[in-house]
Amino acid sequence: MKVEHAKPKVGSKVTIDKADFLSGKYAEEIQALLVERSALHFPGLFLEDQEQVTFARTIGEIVKQGEDQELQYITMDSKISSVADYTRGAFYWHIDGANDPYPAKATMLSARVLAEEGAGGDTLVANTYASYADLPADRKRALEGIKVRHALEATQRYVNPTPSAAELQRWQSRPSQTHPLVWHHRHGRPSLLLGATSFYVEGMELAEGNLLLAELMDWATQDEYIYRHKWSEGDFLLFDNTGAMHRADWYPLDSKRLMRRTTLHGEEPVLVLENA
């Protein structure tokens, strides 16, 4: 297994024998590297659906959508995906599973149809371990104990800021969750828990809380923390959901771009610093 870093703080290309990849031979090394680098690009694998599932099972438990559905279509085409409208929220920075008690561990994508040349469609990943580590010490202390409410409504208001009452009810019927702004992981490295699901800061005036979230998003999405993946045929991309945010770069809603996604169940709750 050969690893080449894309940037000092985020993103790596991993060249690996396909049989070793599928067997789980390097599963522990891949998981450790994922926490360190946030996004791992495996070029030239050309995975079939079952092969993607086989690999996913070597590093975690797969989140199923419906009966035994271990892969989802990621597309803006409503003829292929019944949740295409909700998928538009993917254009904004987020983590998968932020509205759940245990956010998703990781997400993986393989390209089936690429966006038209020059039409966008890159995938961006921001390392929130690194952005937290670079905050001044007094800023870190000030963030301890702050909690944020995460909800689907927050994400969907980016897409549709003036929903009907019926649509708003649908959004509000989905699970929401309160998480600490700073996630103190069991492995010892803290990260920022941000993204478009952030609805409001609990116990803070709305304007003050919104400004805090905007300031931290500006900080966490500086270029030094972002890996941009430009898709090629055969690519496989694995990214962290516990110490990273991701988003799709803009592309036309009528694009034929098509991805196959697998998501892994979260393995730890969002922990707070003891005696904070």
Model pLDDT for residues 147-164, shown as the tens digit of each residue: 999 999 999 999 999 999
The DSSP secondary-structure symbol of 49 reads H
Mean pLDDT of 207-235: 97
The answer to the question of residue 269 being in a domain is no
The answer to the question of residue 232 being in a domain is yes
Helix/strand/coil for 54:
helix
The answer to the question of residue 180 being in a domain is yes
- Position 273 confidence tier, pLDDT thresholds 50, 70, 90: low
Which residues fall within 8 angstroms of residue 81, CB to CB, at 6 or more apart?
Answer: 72, 73, 74, 75, 87
Q: What is the span of the domain harbouring residue 87?
A: 2-264
Whether 86 shows a pLDDT value over 80: the answer reads no
The answer to the question of residue 275 being in a domain is no
The DSSP secondary-structure symbol of 88 reads G
Q: Hey, what amino acid is at 215?
A: E
The answer to the question of residue 20 being in a domain is yes
The answer to the question of residue 82 being in a domain is yes
Number of domains in the chain: 1
| Per-residue model confidence (pLDDT) at position 275 | 47
Share of the chain above pLDDT 70, in %: 97
The answer to the question of residue 276 being in a domain is no
CATH code, 12: 3.60.130.10
The answer to the question of residue 23 being in a domain is yes
Q: CB-hemisphere CA count at 13 Å for 219?
A: 21
Mean pLDDT of 136-155: 96
Which range, of 107-121, 123-137, 143-157, averages the lowest pLDDT?
Answer: 107-121
